[in-house]
Amino acid sequence: MKTFDPVQMAIPFFVLAVILEIVLARLGKANARYEAKDTAMSLTMGLGSSIAGAILGGAIFAATVWVYQHRIFTIPMTAVWAWVILFFAEDLTYYWFHRIAHERRFWWASHVNHHTSTHYNLSTALRQTWTGGVAGTWLLWLPLSFLGFPPAMVAIQKGVSLIYQFWIHTEAIKKMPPWFEAVFNTPSHHRVHHARNARYLDANYAGILIIWDRMFGTFIAETDEEKIRYGTVKNLASFNLLTNVFHEWIGIGKDVVRHPRHALGYMFGPPGWSHDGSRDTSHTLKAKWRARLEREGEKSTASEAHAAE
Amino acid sequence: MDKALLIQLLGSAVAVSLLVAIAAWARIPRPTPPLDADGARALLAVEFPDDPVDALWIAADGAGVVARSGDRALVVWRKGDGYVARDLAWSAALAAKPDKGFLRLKTADGAPRLALNDGAWPPREFA
């Protein structure tokens, strides 16, 4: 069945935008860094993600149609009000999907490869998962069809969200106007999301609207105090494509085999969770960062007092 | 396979190759000059902020660092235009055998190949 797919239509725009960012950076007109192997990894991930999506897409769409057949309401696809409600409902769904994908290891395993680039440029946006379908995150969108939004309508809105999120993967745009930064996800907000600095971890999960992060307490603003470092807490040791796709899944498997009594914790605990507390989670990393800040604050207060004497 | 899908896949593969070639042509990676002592310490401070450095050795090509922090070896090495950081037991780092002027340190998920100054390991910095 042929349906309108905004993402397919946007692919030429993605390609041109990446070329434009590279050329402008080369001419010194834009702030962007590209490393060939990193770019190759990002783009190959994007291509592979399309293939994985095509393989599982039919089954996922069939499940969505089945849920729609048992819907509560019948929402017309041609009504403007329906699109407005869906815009907010889909974006809220995306926020929770994205938050779970960062805060629970099973779903982090499928999402982590979007974050393994140590660069932040438009090619990073295309570094998409191959295993999202298997991880089952698409289940979170089923309630929309159960409510009565036609599956094609939901698919289009998901595509719109994905396209929106392309342009925010750049260092070339420093800040948007304040009103825009207050309401929408922007390059600045999303740079924070891709940071591996402890202060920025687990923040800014927004798709299109940043208001969800502000509402649910996960918003962190970009600051000039500390330069953002991109990637994951432990950057990957190689440019191996399969390592990038499967390393966290393999890590889960190894942990479950070694510690079967703690299997649930290793699968569904936060990334970095361990039964003996020997590893760091975002929570412990942030706690250590705060402790360092306090120590440094005490040191500088003491040295100021000493200087005053 | 559906012909349209095949054409789409081939087109995408060509586009990926083109973009990678343009990225390589542009030569706009992050500058990563060989590490000196200050650079190495700054890097270690970022990657291992809670671990004091007792002793430090920098690879001959400036592309890697090994530092002693108590009973652990902190290792940082260049990957592309960035760095990867791992740690391992100090005893394991000391016991590594040099081979043809290089040292391969086995960490949990990586094995950096570090250039030795005079082919000897451990270096005098760790004596």
B81-96 pLDDT, tens digit each: 999 999 999 999 999 9
Nearest to A36 among B12, B24, B79 (CB): B24
A296 pLDDT higher than 90: no
Q: Which class for A19: exposed (0-12), middle (13-18), buried (19 or more C-beta within 10 A)?
A: middle
Q: Where are the domains positioned within chain A?
A: 6-172
Overall average pLDDT of the A225-230 stretch: 95
Nearest to B19 among A26, A39, A50 (CB): A39
B1 pLDDT higher than 70: no
One domain for residues B11 and B43: no
Q: Which domain holds residue B102?
A: 37-126
CA A249 to chain B, closest CA, distance in angstroms equals 14
- Dihedral sign, CA of A279, A285, A289, A294? negative
The pTM (predicted TM-score) of the whole model is: 0.94
Which pLDDT does position A194 carry in this prediction? 98
* Tens-digit pLDDT profile for residues A147-165: 999 999 999 999 999 999 9
The DSSP output letter for B60 is T
One domain for residues B23 and B67: no
A231 touches chain B (CB under 8 A): yes
- CB atoms closer than 10 angstroms to residue B91: 10
One domain for residues B25 and B83: no
A39 vs B12: CB contact, 8 Å cut-off? no
One domain for residues B69 and B115: yes
A247 vs B109: CB contact, 8 Å cut-off? yes
Mean pLDDT, rounded, of chain B: 94
Residue A62 in tokens? 């069939």
One domain for residues B3 and B48: no
**What confidence category does residue B8 fall into, taking pLDDT thresholds of 50, 70 and 90?**
confident
One domain for residues B62 and B109: yes
Which pLDDT does position B127 carry in this prediction? 79
Q: How many residues does chain B have?
A: 127
One domain for residues B103 and B58: yes
A303 pLDDT higher than 80: no
* Tens-digit pLDDT profile for residues A161-203: 999 999 999 999 999 999 999 999 999 999 999 999 999 999 9
Nearest to A129 by CA among A46, A192, A58, A212: A46
One domain for residues B24 and B7: yes
One domain for residues B6 and B52: no
Which pLDDT does position A2 carry in this prediction? 56
Q: What is the ipTM of this complex?
A: 0.93
What is the domain count for chain B?
A: 2
One domain for residues B26 and B64: no
Which pLDDT does position A3 carry in this prediction? 66
Overall average pLDDT of the B29-45 stretch: 97
* Contact call for residues B46 and A292 (beta carbons, < 8 A): no
B26 vs A234: CB contact, 8 Å cut-off? no
Higher pLDDT, A54 or A27: A27
* Tens-digit pLDDT profile for residues A228-274: 999 999 999 999 999 999 999 999 999 999 999 999 999 999 999 99
A219 pLDDT higher than 80: yes
Residue A187 in tokens? 């390059």
* Tens-digit pLDDT profile for residues A86-143: 999 999 999 999 999 999 999 999 999 999 999 999 999 999 999 999 999 999 999 9
The span from the CA of A272 to the CA of B35, in Å, is 30
The span from the CA of A266 to the CA of A260, in Å, is 9
Which pLDDT does position A87 carry in this prediction? 98
Overall average pLDDT of the A58-87 stretch: 97
The span from the CA of A93 to the CA of A88, in Å, is 9
